[in-house]
Amino acid sequence: MSNTIETIKEQISTNDILLYMKGNPRAPQCGFSSQAVQALMSCGERFAFVNILENPDIRAELPKFANWPTFPQLWVKGELIGGCDIIVEMAANGELQALIKEAVGSSEE
């Protein structure tokens, strides 16, 4: 069990932009994951993802670790940004693009 938490911490720390989702960006397995992927893709930057349907341990442990009960979950620079509603809202008002550009820009320095 603690191995799962270690895996989650490693995934979050090694990927500047990470989306925990159902399915994958080309074939999301739920509407919320699909909306989150579309919002992220509109930013034009690459992002990592973890398909929680293929990782039941992560699916079980991440909500406790993150104190966030639902998926998808967007993590940027080690910080939980939020789920679908927050991602879509941030994309609509331009905050998501700025956050993603900043995350990518700071990792290239």
Whether 22 has a binding-site annotation, put simply, is: yes
Whether 46 has a binding-site annotation, put simply, is: no
Whether 43 has a binding-site annotation, put simply, is: no
Cα–chain center distance at 38: 12
SS3 track for 86-108: HHHHHHHHCHHHHHHHHHHHHHH
What residue segments make up the domains of the chain, in order of their start? Answer: 2-108
Q: CATH homologous superfamily of domain 2-108?
A: Glutaredoxin (3.40.30.10)
Whether 71 has a binding-site annotation, put simply, is: yes
Chain segment 53-103, per-residue pLDDT in tens: 999 999 999 999 999 999 999 999 999 999 999 999 999 999 999 999 999
Q: What is the pTM of this model?
A: 0.94
